[in-house]
Every structure is written in structure tokens, then in C-alpha cells.
Structure 1
């Protein structure tokens, strides 16, 4: 996967790691056996951000972290490492047979950047990779995988919510202003990730998280020039 985040630092004795081949999808499957991803991270003795990077394929987990994550749910380490054999250990609390292809839905990540400052959408963008999400987690959020896409953010106007280089998932089914939230919008042929807020007079404020950037206002009579591409629903976590 085309991500540039640094890998997790390992302590002495934690240099055993796994192959990347499908590992992120299997770690996600185990994490989703927990009540929440936060609980899964705590069980693994890792930060939530670390778990999210493993699932995104951005970092290589330490053996002991995966072992803790698996042991609590009686999941086979061999299955996590290779994908071969049964997911659950013999005698474990086997919930159901797991077919990875059925469990996961995939969201295309495009080689285009959403400008959070001054960039523009790149026409004819190519798909870099597919981001794996459990179908259950998407359904829980009320999302249709066929209406999702992912791009990266440029600039710092949405710090501290979105940082330069962050990957965001857009729900194209939410292309109208439902309420104050972060949307990807097209305005004057430029694409921006911004917070939108409707005003009493019908105008829409386009707000940057970074206060060094001024709030823009689109008057009611010019709302036709404001195209909402979709709502940002994920940026390393549901938002």
C-alpha cells in the first residue's frame, strides 16, 4: 500500500514480524471480534493509532502484540500469519466460519489529492490500492461500499483534524449538506476538504480547522456553484 508513515519502533526482543500478505485484513477480522477497536488495542498492549496503521497496512505489528490480540479471542496465530487453516483454535469459542472475501469490502484509494488548501482534483486518477474494511463496520455506519472512495489530503488548513498526507474516505451518497460536518467540495474547479456550516440566511460557511485560514462564505444565491462531492466519514477512524 502506498503509505509513507513510519513503522512502529520495536523494543528489544520484539523483532519477530509477519508477512504482509493479507495480514492487515486478518488483523482487522480479529480486532472486530472485540467490542471496539480501542478495546482490541488495549488487549494488544498497543496504541489505537498503531492498531489502525496495522489494519491500513502502514506498519508491521510486533509478534507479542498480535499474540495478545489473538489469545484473548482464541484465534490461531498461524491463521493470522498465513491465512491458512482455521481462524479459531480447537476448543475455542468459534463464532462462525470466516470467509475473508465475504467479511471484507474494499474501498479504492486514488492517486489524487484532496486539497485542504490550494490543490485541485486530478482528472483521470488511477486506483493505487484497495483499502479493506469489514463489511460489518461499514453497515454499522450506514455506508454502502459502492459509494465510497478514498483520497489523500494536501496542506494544513484542517489541522488538527486532518494532516497533510492523511487518507480520507468519502461517502458520495452524502452529497448534500445534512448538518455541520467535514465534506469534500468542489468550488471554482478546486477540491477542498472543509467543514460546512449552514447559516440562518441560507448561506453556507466553509470553515478551516486551522485558524490561519479565513472562513469562506457562499451566499444563498451562489450555492449552485458549490458542489458537494461527499462527506468525509473516515480518516484513520470514523468521524
Structure 2
């Protein structure tokens, strides 16, 4: 192994997790591959610890993502150098880590297990959230299941849900628990009747719910971001 151009296997585990985080911050593994001009499959191998990245590759990753090369290699903070500041900043200062749960909406029983340890966390810049009027403390990530909301939401898409926004609005998409099932549907308020749950896929019928009289009904929150598989 060329010690000047490659990294030791002992460091590979931590580097793999940091590469995965870098990919999330730039828009996913495919986007990272495009930015540094390598194949997407190679990025998957790096983040799965199946391949040892060269220093030249890590330099490119650091350049396109704004992280420090030293952090990418060693894991030692600070992570970023913020332009116009007095010095480097940590990842917590630059990013909000939104908890993700192994919960599928549109099928399955139960509610969001917000009191349990999240299965993963996705990084979003604080500035991006603030621009959209979102508070990181109110956000959770879940998965979509099924095709009832296609083409807007596809099977296994990642959904960011604002749990502070629980009042249905016309044309907005909400996660709703009804009779033990978690649904993701577009809503339309029917004055004096309740709320229509609409599927973007025309093959599915709409459903009218009375929010006051329907037992075991709970509006979990509004979908504010959709992460798609390409």
C-alpha cells in the first residue's frame, strides 16, 4: 500500500461513517459521486468499508462539502471552517441532526416511537431549516411505503415531518394515524364534515374523516421535505 496516497485499514471504519455523512450533506451518494467525478458504486464501497479511499479522493470530498480534511481522516473536530468567522466551527453548530426512525407510513401499526432511540440521524444545515421556518426540535424522519402518493412520493422515499404542524390544510401532505395505521395523504378540509384524505395516485379512493368523532385518530405532522431514491 502506498502510505502517502492511501489510508490504513484501522481508520477505515470511522472514515466510512464520515463519508456517509458528507454524502448526506451534499445531497446523497450519487450527488457526491458527480461532484468528485467517481462512480456512485465507488462511493457506496467507501461508505460500506469495502474500499480504502485515496487521499486525493478525500481531498476532493473535503473541497466539495466544506469539511476539513483533518476531520475526514481522523474524526477530530472542528469539522468545518466557516467563512467570515473567527475560526472553525463544529458540526453541531453548522448542522442539525434530525432523528430518523424505522417507521413506514401508509402501512403498519402504531405511532412514531419518539421516546425511543432513533435508528439514524440525517444532517441538515441550520440555515436551510431557518430559511424554511422549521425548528429542528420538531422534525423527524420516516419512510414512505406503497404507491398511493405517486408520483409525489414513491415507495421507500424519506419524509421529513414537522410534528408541530398538526392542523390539516388544503393541498398539504400530512402523516395521520387512523385506526392504528400510519397514513401519508394530501388533505382537503370539508367544512362541517371533516377532512378528506386524498391520494395523488388516481387509482386510490379518497377518504373522509371526522377529526372529532373518529376514534384512534391523530395528526402526527406535516410533510415538509421528501428525499427520493434515484
Match of 2:137 in 1: 146
CA distance in 2, matches of 1:213, 1:149: 27
Alignment partner of 1:120 out of 78, 87, 109: 109
Larger Rg: 2
CA distance in 1, matches of 2:138, 2:227: 18
Q: How far apart are residue 215 of structure 1 and its match?
A: 1.0
Size of the aligned set, in residue pairs, is 200
5+ long unaligned stretches in structure 1: 1-16, 33-38
The answer as to 2:17 corresponding to 1:21 is yes
Distance 1:66 1:163, change over 3 A: farther
For 2:17, what is the secondary structure of its paired residue? coil
- Normalised by the length of structure 2, the TM-score is 0.65
Q: 1:11-69: per-residue Cα shift (whole Å, max 9, x none)? A: xxxxxx9932323444566x49xxxxxx99976569xxx7xx99xx79x9x98887667
Question: Which of 179, 191, 194 is the aligned partner of 2:185?
Answer: 194
- SS class of match (1:107): strand
- Does structure 2 conserve the Cα–Cα contact (< 8 Å) formed by 1:186 and 1:192? yes
Match of 1:130 in 2: 121
Residue 122 of structure 1: CA displacement?
5.1
Deviation at 1:81, TM superposition (A): 4.8
TM-score by length of 1: 0.63
Structure 1 position 131, deviation (Å): 1.9
Instruction: Give the 5 Å matches for 1:173-192.
Output: 173-192=164-183
What is the 5 A alignment of 1:1-239? 19-26=15-22, 31=26, 71=63, 77=69, 79-84=71-76, 94-96=83-85, 97-114=88-105, 116=106, 118-121=107-110, 126=116, 127-199=118-190, 203-218=194-209, 222-224=210-212, 225=214, 226-236=217-227
Closer, same or farther: CA 235–73 of 1 in aligned 2, 3 Å: closer
Cα deviation per residue 1:168-191 (whole Å; 9 max; x = unaligned)? 111011011243211001223322
Structure 1 stretches of 4+ moved >3 Å: 24-29, 39-46, 62-89, 93-96, 122-126, 199-203
Unmatched segments (≥5 aa) in structure 2: 1-11
Q: Deviations over 1:122-160 (max 9, x none)?
A: 575742122222222211211111111122222221122
Would the aligned equivalents of 2:111 and 2:180 in 1 still touch at CA under 8 Å? no
